Structure 1
Amino acid sequence: MLVLMTADSTYDSESTAPATRKELLGRIAHGDQAAFGELYDEIAPRVLGLVKRLLVDHAQSEEVTQEIFLEIWQSATRFEPTRGGASTWIMTMAHRRAVDRIRASQAGRDRDQKIGIRDLAVEYDHVSETVEVRIEHERVKKAMSRLTELQREAVSLAYYGGFSHSEVAERLDIPLGTVKTRLRDGMIRLRDELGVAS
């Protein structure tokens, strides 16, 4: 009887052992929300820490961290344990996302600076400027036409209408997460269509 209890207790301790991150990713790949919650609780502080070291801004860091976990949920099937550990895969994804955000911010600053310099110039060619703006407008219009109707609607409201993500969700009567997904997918498609380097 004592031997059976020992065997049972060994079995119990093995069955209650915490899952590894690799196992959690495997379960997430099959749509296991509980495994996703477990992984999030375990590694989110570390992911946020890395992102915050790169971005500094706390609000942006939280936003990027949410995007990272959305990507983990959506792409867990692409995790290949033979190519590296789960933590490495996640932290590489986090680093890439943070660097993408830095590049996007820098590109925005560069564009604003270029426009500012152009606007400060005493003399400039109005015809060239008009043509340049018209060509850029046509490129964006053509790229927008290649989005799905749902993506185009969300992007138009957020970027042309000036509505916040929450306001877009309210206007379209859809969840905030759906708005963010449509905007993210739409912006990726626009970037690809316009040939903007990521």
Structure 2
Amino acid sequence: MAHETPRHWDRNMRERLRRGEAAALAELYDRFASLAYGIAQRVLDDEAATGAVTREVFGAIWESPERFDPRQGTMRAWIAGQAHQLAVARLRERAAGPAVREQVAAAATAARADYIVTAMPAPLREALELTRFQRQDYRQMAERLGINEDEARRRLRLGLQLLSSAAQYGAESADPTGGRPAPPRELGSR
């Protein structure tokens, strides 16, 4: 039997994984698990996290073997790169801590509030601007806008309801589980 080149072995391995051969995954794991583990361990210096990264690398290639492209490099280099990327991502998550996550949530909330104010109908935006920036109550706002007090309260209430959704959106968008926030309600609707 002729000696198989690394590129040929890589292409063959990818095809076996595409066919769902569990033996191919076992062979790949036997051959490269220590490489992935060693790289992750150097970055993380945490056995539990290192083991999780190693499992993620091999889980990802089992689920999506087409992500590896033999024309771009060897399987060994790809696995090493994946282990390094995942380990660095975990290290960043760990370093971020609660304070950074709170800052991200606050920034998301502020950005969403700005968007909501910009996108809301002009009558609601005017009501908020008069009460917030010009410190007018709903009676003064009604007089200034030439509307009755009930309409002034309604506009202010709707504007505040829209703005309150920004806080909920900020909390959901900072969700570490990756949950997607619900789309915003139709602006101007009750």
TM-score by structure 1 length? 0.50
Aligned to 1:79: 68
Q: Aligned letter for 1:26? A: E
Counterpart residue identity of residue 82, structure 1: R
1:101 to 2:101 alignment: no
Structure 2 equivalent of residue 57 of structure 1? 46
Give the corresponding residue for 1:140. Answer: 171
Q: Unaligned 5+ residue runs, structure 2?
A: 104-163, 184-190
Shift of 1:71: 0.8
**Backbone CA RMSD of aligned residues:** 3.7
- Out of 19, 28, 31, the position equivalent to 1:39 is 28
Q: Deviations over 1:150-175 (max 9, x none)?
A: xxxxx9xxx8xxxxxxxxxxxxxxxx
- Which protein has the bigger helix share? 1
Question: Any conservation in 2 of the 1:65–1:94 contact (CA below 8 Å)?
Answer: yes
- After TM superposition, the structure 1 = structure 2 runs for residues 162-173 of structure 1, keeping only pairs within 5 Å, are none
For 1:116-131, what aligned pairs fall within 5 Å after superposition?
Answer: none
Aligned residues: 121
Q: Which stretch of structure 1 is more off in the superposition, 44-53 or 68-77? A: 68-77
Greater relative CO, 1 or 2 (CA 8 Å, sep 6+): 2
Query: In the aligned structure 2, how far is the partner of 1:99 from the partner of 1:64?
Result: 10
Contact 1:22 1:85 in 2 (8 A): no
Point out where structure 1 has 5 or more consecutive residues left out of the alignment. Answer: 1-12, 115-132, 145-154, 160-186, 194-198
Superposed displacement of residue 56, structure 1: 0.3
Matches of 1:55 and 1:190 in 2, distance apart?
A: 29
2:79 to 90, 107, 121: 90
Match of 2:37 among 31, 43, 48: 48
2: CA distance, partners of 1:47 / 1:73: 15
Distance in 2 of aligned mates of 1:90 and 1:39: 10
Structure 1 residues 139, 52: closer, same or farther in 2, change over 3 A? same
Q: Percent identity?
A: 30
